Amino acid sequence: MVAAFALAQRELVRFLRQRSRVIGALVTPVVFWALIGTGVGDSFRSPGAEASYSNYFFPGAILMIVLFTAIFSTVSVIEDRRDGFLQGVLVSAVPRWQIALGKILGGAALASLQAFLFLLLAPLAGVSLSWQALPILLGSIVLGSVGLTALGLCLAWPMSSTQGFHVMMNLLLMPMWFLSGALFPLRDSMFAPMKYLMLANPMTYALATFRHATHFGDQALRATLPPLGVSIGVMLVFTLVMIALSSVQVRKHGRT
């Protein structure tokens, strides 16, 4: 496991040395949350009791951080191949699964840490995190970060262009985020194809887990969400499948 942890540490060090990435990663979700939350304002009717839109949108901002940070962290695979570092790792005696695990742990750590920092703004959104719900929220953030980083690794590994990767990721990530319920709730009365797409989207269940934890005392809102046990189960299956696929991708399609 030494090689895996070394690769994960390298991802963290690289991120911290790039100040623009640090500032952008921390400020962007705050700006989105502030602008969207205040912009929609009173025009939104929460399915919960008396939640404001900033309060309702707070878990969606957490999902945005986890989703975009985790997947975009895997662009380092393309950069490492271009710089020659990845070729050196691939021809070494390091098992391929450790290479995949190191990349996944590094990206997941970045996404989780940024989401944890964003949680410090919870009081500004009127979100009160209880001691019972906090372990659920932190654990689901880590689980989602691991699964999404593994998804990003599966997609980044065969690519040779960072521009192509960014185009494909924006094409994939924005619909995944919009169809998670981050901006609007899943309702029985909504357009049927939209409803089925939301139910088939793994991010719907990740967001539901976040919202169960951030609105632990709002039974009216929680009643509109997929059950907590089902949401955690879907996240766990998604994460395990993505880890397995990324390991297979690295092992069978390693390029030097």
Task: Give dist(CA 144, CA 203) in Å, integer.
Answer: 9
Task: Give dist(CA 3, CA 64) in Å, integer.
Answer: 30
DSSP-derived secondary structure letter, 182: S
Q: How confident is the model at residue 53 (pLDDT cuts 50, 70, 90)?
A: confident
Would you state the structure tokens that stand for residue 219, as one six-digit string? Answer: 């039974």
Where is average pLDDT lowest: 57-61, 118-122, 185-189?
185-189
Q: Tell which wins on pLDDT, 103 or 22.
A: 103
Task: Give dist(CA 166, CA 249) in Å, integer.
Answer: 20
Q: How confident is the model at residue 41 (pLDDT cuts 50, 70, 90)?
A: low
Domain ranges of the chain: 2-252
| Cβ count within 10 A of residue 210 | 27
Q: Is the pLDDT of residue 256 over 50?
A: no
Q: Is the pLDDT of residue 210 over 90?
A: yes
Q: Tell which wins on pLDDT, 183 or 62.
A: 62
Would you state the structure tokens that stand for residue 256, as one six-digit string? Answer: 């030097």
pTM for the predicted model, two decimal places: 0.87
Q: Position 120: which residue type?
A: L
Which CA distances in Å does 52 have to 107, 116, 125? Answer: 32, 22, 8
| Cβ count within 10 A of residue 240 | 14
Task: Give dist(CA 141, CA 196) in Å, integer.
Answer: 24
Q: Position 37: which residue type?
A: G
What pLDDT was estimated at residue 218? 77
What pLDDT was estimated at residue 237? 96
Q: Tell which wins on pLDDT, 213 or 126.
A: 213
Arithmetic mean of pLDDT, 152-178: 83
